[in-house]
Amino acid sequence: MKARESLVRLKEFQVREKQRQLNQLQMMMAEFERMTKDLENQIIFEEKKSGISDPQHFAYPTFAKAARQRADNLQVSIRELKTQQDAAELALEEVQAEYAKAAALEERDTSTRLRA
């Protein structure tokens, strides 16, 4: 019956690991969103300072142009992380189901041993 105990511990570890990965993805997304907001505020400031808000204008501030590109890149990264988050959530659900099944088998074996 030690094999089942090991299986339960393994599944429990896998659940914790998937939860950790999911939390890490969520933290990264939140950080990227915060960075995007900061960049957008800097862009607005630069546009007001220069008086030019058209990115196609020849005198549009270089910093604002670079910040706009960085913000766009962060938005792409956020979308990619969202896809990874969805996959991680599915994987977590699968591992949780496996853990529940292994724990139920272990519990059944334990109660059988106690009755015997």
pLDDT, tens only, 58-87: 999 999 999 999 999 999 999 999 999 999
Please, are residues 81 and 32 in contact by the beta-carbon 8 Å criterion? yes
For range 40-58, the mean pLDDT: 95
User: Which single residue is written with the structure tokens 């015997």?
Assistant: 116
> Which single residue is written with the structure tokens 């969202």?
82
Question: Average per-residue pLDDT in the chain?
Answer: 93
The model's pLDDT over 82-115, given as tens digits with 9 standing for 90+, comes to 999 999 999 999 999 999 999 998 888 777 777 7
Quote the strand ranges of 1-116, DSSP E.
none
57 phi and psi, to 5 degrees? -65, 140
What pLDDT is stored for residue 116 in this prediction?
Answer: 63
